[in-house]
A and B are shown apart, each in its own frame.
Chain A
Amino acid sequence: MRRGAMIFSGIFLLAILVVLPTSQAATVKPIVIGVPTSLYTPFGRDGLKAVNLAVKEINAKGGVKVGTQRRPFKVVIADTRGGEPNTPVHDALMAYERLITKEKPDAIVVGAFRSEVLIAGMDLVAKYKIPQLSTIAQSPGFQKKFMKDPKKYKYLFRVTTDALVDATYLNNTLDILKKKFGLKNAYFIYQDTLWAKAFSGLMSRHCKKTGWKIVGFDGYAAGATDFSPALSKARESKVQLIGMVWDVPLGAGVFAKQYAAMKVPALLIGFIPPMASPMAVKTLGPGVEYSMSIEFPVGASLPLKKLPKTGDFLSKFKKEYGALPEAAAVNSSAYDAVFILANAIERTGSLNPDKLAAALEKTDYAGVSGRIRFNKQHIAVFGTKDPKKEGVCVIFQWQKDSAGKLKRVPVYPAFLAEGKIQLPPWMKK
């Protein structure tokens, strides 16, 4: 027993020793950017990569000019694990707070994945007064809480789109489908979380208004792994279009495989990361052909010919990490966020959070995802008109090119389109 106790205390000591912080010396004090996010989700992972890429670029140019001195960026990360279903919010917040108090970041980018964590974390950020540019969570709860006390939450910004904008893009595409091909039976499946429900709700309401027949509107729990009830229902009731909004990779992967396996003769449209991903053909097989997906904002994973900046960003990304980002969302926002931050720091010449927040409010930056400005609720303005005036998204479809290879072809909006929407042959009568 004594030997056991000794081993035990030995391990215990070792664990403590490992934990003891190591001291670091630096000549020029770097500007610390904190990235607390859920690294388990593709959004968090690729977002972090995009941030590192931007930081590397800025540092290669000598860093950011703060007053008279040029200082480099330094990235510190904390895996909040907030995207994992079993993590208590308190635990994610502890990781968040530890990052803030231990590493003392001057600003935070990327931020939480789960809306719950973003919203609960808002109080934390306001308490420690750290400007935050969040780029993942899309919940409208952000605006709601922000408007409760704009003064308190003035350090918080969101660089990415809102579910509202994403839905507008899809609705316009639905209009085209209806007009051009005469589709009229639609079935909506969504992940039963707040933003996805709001998102698909916007789509189904639009459909009702414009004369579609809604056959079903089903929410599945985020952990669902069997979609046969909805798919067989859709098949039996001759649905022509399935709208799907889902962000958890697991369920979306199962859905995509099951959809292909069950041969539901309906066009698939929505936000389904595995189907939108550049690797979709490899993981899901040729069944992805004709499926349509939204990418918000542009430049997240698909290089667009008409927006050269997206191509630049993605080819840099590919060069650095060997592959394109996995998820068709928010990566370009994370990249932009770092430049927006650098931009604001240079304009105000200080790292004081109040001054920085004021400078961020006046942001007007032409980034990968379009022109970024913040509205009164500290949300980047996105629209469907013109990338020179606002941030934009894109909708693309998997199509075969002349060589028979499956490619993602942008089809909407018109100013970004490189091809036309194709109706699958098995849907034509």
Chain B
Amino acid sequence: MTKQEGYRKKRLDRGIKARSDTLFAVASWKEILYLMIPRFLPVAVLLLLPLFLGNYWNKVLVYACIYGLLALSWDFLASCGLFSLGQSLFFGVGAYIAGGLNYYFHLPPLITIPIATIAGGILCSALLTPVMRLRGVYFAMVTLILPLLLMKIIETTGVFGGTQGLSSLSGFPHEMLSIYIAVVGFLACLFLFRRIINTDYGLILRAIRDDDRSVMSGGINIYWRKSQALFIAGAAGGFAGALMTHHYQFLGMSVFALDYSILPVAAVALGGQGTFAGAAIGSMLLVPLSEALRALGGLRVAIYCGVLIVSIILLPEGFFHYLARKYHQFEKVVKIG
């Protein structure tokens, strides 16, 4: 659409949006559908998808869910003002806890995954407690460096199999089971986070992001709250790491690789910040895209980066916000004056 002189675009809420915002939502099936479709359709699609995809694309789906979990955990931290560049820390810690327990103590995945989730969360918040007072870019740098540091330590000292990693870990009894654990875990995490952030508890977290000093003056210990947020985000990342370890039955120090830190952030940047749904959509777009580009061979990552740059420049607000606006509002051209 070309710009017309003397006119401007005006956005208005759709009628159905206004109606379904209130109690009238229950009055008609149309409004109910309007509210339900964006929530239930993706869930249904995700739950049914594994039945129709092939072996290979199911792996991609698991991959997407795992990156999705990391992106959600990133978005959760960002919601309380912690801008992290080290999701691979959470991922790697969870992976090493689960893999170590399985390799040295032969515990089955159904025990190691919950342990890795909880212990991963605790360990990550403990590791990051000393630097929790940092803000902005400084916190980001420390989180970027920490996983690399752990990776080098494993490489140097040779603990947990060193550079060679631990292989032949036990997997899930059935392929489908692991796929559904990934999908359900991802969806559960998505809705749980959305719920948490809208409770009073989440309100405090968001307030810390917006103005931490006013929260402090309200008599709330923001560092304790931040470490709780770190625990929640760490647990999500740890779950993803443990899942990946058992899914591939292999654990190496590359779980701390930069990929697991940068890709989730890219997913959020693509999908849109602050709503979790954006993070989910972003990872569901990015990971399959990256796999599809594999056919291009050597140029794959370069093109991938190109697509990422172009989409962020064209839609800086993120994909989700754009979709949500189109869904709720319509535009019309009005005359200025």
Binding site for B on A (CB under 8 A): 1-5, 7-8, 11-12, 15-16, 18-19, 21, 39, 77, 79, 86-91, 93-95, 97-98, 101-102, 115-116, 119-120, 122-123, 139, 141, 145, 148, 192-194, 221
Which residues does chain B contribute within 8 Å of A15, judged by CB atoms? 289, 292-293, 303, 307
A158 to chain B, nearest CB (A): 16
Closest to A115 in B: B164
Which residues does chain B contribute within 8 Å of A115, judged by CB atoms? 163-164
Which residues does chain B contribute within 8 Å of A192, judged by CB atoms? 155-156, 163
Pick the residue among A39, A97, A120, A193 that contacts B165 (CB under 8 A): A120
| Contact call A8/B250, Cβ cutoff below 8 A | no
Pick the residue among A2, A12, A88, A194 that contacts B1 (CB under 8 A): A2
Interface size class of B (residues with CB under 8 A): 35 or more
Closest to B322 in A: A5
CB-CB under 8 A for A194 and B252, given A11-B310, A123-B168, A221-B152: no
A200 to chain B, nearest CB (A): 15
Contact with A along B140-184 (1 / 0, CB 8 A): 000000000000100110000011110110000000000000000
Closest to A15 in B: B307
> Is B63 part of the contact surface with A, judged by Cβ < 8 Å?
yes
Q: Which of B205-252 contact A (CB under 8 A)?
A: 244, 248-250, 252
> Is B45 part of the contact surface with A, judged by Cβ < 8 Å?
no
Contact with A along B249-274 (1 / 0, CB 8 A): 11010110111100000000000000
| Contact call B314/A4, Cβ cutoff below 8 A | yes
Binding site for A on B (CB under 8 A): 1, 54-56, 59-60, 63, 152, 155-156, 162-165, 167-168, 244, 248-250, 252, 254-255, 257-260, 289, 291-298, 303, 307, 310-311, 314-315, 322
| Contact call A123/B249, Cβ cutoff below 8 A | yes
Q: How many A-B residue pairs have CB under 8 A?
A: 110
Q: How far is the CA of A94 from the CA of B55 in the complex (A)?
A: 12
A73 to chain B, nearest CB (A): 20
Closest to A4 in B: B314
Q: How far is the CA of A93 from the CA of B257 in the complex (A)?
A: 15
Pick the residue among B63, B163, B249 that contacts A194 (CB under 8 A): B163
| Contact call A89/B292, Cβ cutoff below 8 A | no
Pick the residue among A91, A97, A102, A123 that contacts B259 (CB under 8 A): A91
Q: How far is the CA of A16 from the CA of B289 in the complex (A)?
A: 8
Which residues does chain A contribute within 8 Å of B322, judged by CB atoms? 1, 5
